[in-house]
Amino acid sequence: MTEPLPKVRDTAPAAGLGLIAAGTASATGQDVRQLAIRQATVLKSLCEFLDQASLRAGLQALVDELQRRFRCERVGIALCEGNETCLRALSQQPDFDPRAAETVNLAAAMREACEQDRVIHLRPDRPPPDPLQVPAHNVLRNAYPHYEICSLPICHGGTTLGALMLMGQRAQPLSGSAVVLLQQVTTIIAPVLQLRISDEQSVMARSREHLVRRLRDVFGPTHLAAKCVAIGAALTLLIAAVLPVTYRVSATAELLPLERRMISAPIPSFIEQVHVETGDRVQPGTPLVTLDTRDLKLERDKWANDIAGTRAEFRAAMASTDRKEMAVVLARQQQAEAQLALIDAQIDRATIRAPAAGVVTSEDLSQSLGAPVERGDVLLEIAPEGDYKVVLWVDEEDMVRIQPGQEGELALKASPADGMAFRVTEIHPIAVARDGLTRLRVEAALTGTAQGLRPGQTGIGKIGVGSATLLWTWTHRFTDWLSRQWWAWFG
């Protein structure tokens, strides 16, 4: 029957020599001597293993030392190699046949201890174990009914490296303290054994072992939250790599009228009064600006007096029947009347009126009262309502994808939820620097009807240029930049 010992990975003696040394502080007399013997046993076993140049020689020295210390018939060590547990050392028998029935039974029993991860201790003075629990050990017991069998797994860092087995006829069976001492030996040997195994592995074997550990970390039950996040990210990238979407080029947009009427000064004068402000709707004949007419009125009075004088001279010439003088005076009178009519017309045009219905789009002129203007100076700008075009400023990187006839959607800052459809009509080939980038002007026509639009409104326009995967739309800026840099460096 197996002794009720704890699991090797949970047992207290895992502290090794530290536990033994700590016990000497409270022990006296015979206890101190026993602890010293235990410590010497552990150290001697470790030294025998380390003194050898190779793993095989070290294991052989270790099993020979344990056989001598514990007075057993046979001590063996098996190592886990993949899914197999292979016998690597047998006391007093450096050369053995791994295919022999006895060797196969020993390896199977030690594999059983590794799989169950616990100490299996069979004694002849106790009832046989349940064959279903330890079938491999039961085979050994049937073959050696008078032998005591003790198997201990060798573990380090959560990995089972192999197993240690002691067999033989003893006058006094192994006590619980002796089994604990054996556990301490395996605990001390385990890290050194792992280093020796790693040192003697080939590059291919190390790579394979590293890959297996990485795969175990990836597909094992640990770090579930991180794995769920990684799986979600991988699925997102996979979907993005195959999901087609309509790729749209984004550009700043401005709403401009199709027709603009410039209102200029008809005479040189000064601004006396401004009747409208930017954004006002006007109708034909609505007064816009009034210019100062005081100088014109003074000049009108001058010419009116000239007309009155020429009339008196004309009557005098008639009285003297001087036909030549009458003709001269009549010509002067007609010239004065023409100048008077011209000045009256200029005074009438001094009040500038709207030529057509529309919206005032120019800057506020009310801040320029009293400012001088020359004939032909533009004072106001009126844009008819209803007919607009969209001007988009497209980044030069995206111009290769823009073609006339493509359709898009405009969202103005004033009403971002109300999208307006448009169609590209013209591409201007001259680049302009705007917002720190080189952009090209693209004009488009609105294809739908919209209410409440004003000239000069801005927003964002998106032009549909074709179909692409979602992953490409996320990464094409970086890949385009990388392509340009590659050309700059190695092209």
Mean predicted confidence (pLDDT) in 335-362: 85
Structural domains in the chain, sorted by start: 8-208 (3.30.450.40), 260-289+353-383 (2.40.50.100), 293-349 (1.20.58), 387-490 (2.40.30.170)
Which candidate, 140, 66, 147, 153, places its Cα nearest to that of 102? 140
Angstrom distance (rounded) from CA 32 to CA 25: 9
- Helix H or strand E encompassing 360: strand 358-360
Q: Give the tokens for residue 13.
A: 């003696």
End-to-end CA, the chain = 79
User: For residue 335, with 0-12 CB atoms within 10 Å meaning exposed, 13-18 middle and 19 or more buried, which class applies?
Assistant: middle
Characterize 193-209 residue by residue with b for buried, 16 or more Cβ atoms within 10 angstroms of its Cβ, and e for exposed: bbebbeeeeeeeeeeee
Question: Three-state DSSP class for 266?
Answer: coil
Angstrom distance (rounded) from CA 307 to CA 314: 10
Residue 28: predicted pLDDT: 57
Q: 458 versus 172: which is more confidently predicted?
A: 458
- Greatest Cα pair distance, the chain, in angstroms, is 178
Integer CA distances (angstroms), 411 to 156, 419, 457, in order: 65, 5, 10
CA count, 13 A, side-chain hemisphere, 193: 29
Q: What percentage of the chain reaches a pLDDT higher than 70? A: 93
| Alpha-carbon 421 to chain mean position | 32
Residue type, 422: F
Is 90 exceeded by the pLDDT of residue 177?
Answer: no
CB 351 within 8 A of CB 266: no
Pseudo-torsion of CA 119, 125, 129, 131, nearest 10°? 120
How does the average pLDDT of the chain come out, rounded?
A: 83
- pTM value? 0.51
Residue 1: predicted pLDDT: 42
Mean predicted confidence (pLDDT) in 197-208: 77
Q: Which of 120-129, 228-237, 355-364 has the highest mean pLDDT?
A: 228-237
Query: Model confidence over 81-110: pLDDT tens digits?
Result: 878 889 989 998 888 888 888 889 899 999
Which candidate, 195, 114, 126, places its Cα nearest to that of 155? 114
Angstrom distance (rounded) from CA 458 to CA 330: 63
In which band, very low, low, confident or very high, does the pLDDT at 29 lie, cut at 50, 70 and 90?
low
Residue 25: predicted pLDDT: 46
CB 187 within 8 A of CB 152: no
Angstrom distance (rounded) from CA 123 to CA 173: 7
Query: Model confidence over 111-127: pLDDT tens digits?
Result: 999 999 899 998 888 88
Phi, psi (rounded to 5 degrees) for 17: -65, -25
Is 70 exceeded by the pLDDT of residue 18?
Answer: no
Assign residue 156 a region (left: φ > 0; alpha: ψ between -120 and 50; beta: otherwise): beta
Question: Three-state DSSP class for 100?
Answer: coil
DSSP strand pairing (437-446 vs 415-434): antiparallel
Is 90 exceeded by the pLDDT of residue 301?
Answer: no
Query: Model confidence over 373-425: pLDDT tens digits?
Result: 888 888 888 877 777 889 999 998 888 889 999 999 999 988 888 888 999 99
Pseudo-torsion of CA 373, 376, 377, 378, nearest 10°? 140
Integer CA distances (angstroms), 329 to 300, 320, 429, in order: 19, 13, 65
